[in-house]
Amino acid sequence: MATSKITYLGDLRTESVHLQSGDKIITDAPVDNKGRGEAFSPTDLLATSLGNCMITIMGIAARERGIDIDGTFCTITKVMAADPRRVSEIKAEITFPGHYTDKEKAILEHSAKTCPVFYSLHPDIVKDITFVYSPKS
């Protein structure tokens, strides 16, 4: 079965439908590439997918070991290059709002860097991953 169906809506905008769930995502070309920038661009989704994947895989590892990572978040910065236009770097900062042992930190960080999207990105794309441990007050 197909994963998704993508429809061109005109004016550099697409609608993607996840066929199993019916969830929809709209994309728009970025302002610096003739678009309106009113939604995620396809390259935004590429970069954001890395953050989503890392947190998901960390969540699996955490659940299996009884580690609480609820409230963990990731900010993504996408860096573009020209000739050809492409994503050249993805900066991800993952912030954990809890106390973790050195062993738990090692498990979480290893999990993040072994997610499927991390491995699927071209090796020329720089993946700058920072982990911030900010204990809950």
Burial class (CB in 10 A: 0-12, 13-18, 19+), 133: middle
Q: Tokens 């912030």 identify what position?
A: 95
What angle is formed at CA 59 by the lines to CA 5 and CA 116, rounded to 5 degrees? Answer: 50
Q: How many secondary structure helices (H) and strands (E) does the chain include?
A: 3, 6
Look at 98 and 101; give whichever has higher pLDDT. 101
How high is the mean pLDDT of the chain?
A: 96
Second-level CATH architecture of 42-133: 2-Layer Sandwich (3.30)
Look at 106 and 136; give whichever has higher pLDDT. 106
Domain range annotation of the chain: 4-33, 42-133
Q: Is the pLDDT of residue 90 over 60?
A: yes
Enter the tokens of residue 71. 């409230």
Q: Of 112, 99, 102, 97, whose CA–CA distance to 59 is shortest?
A: 112
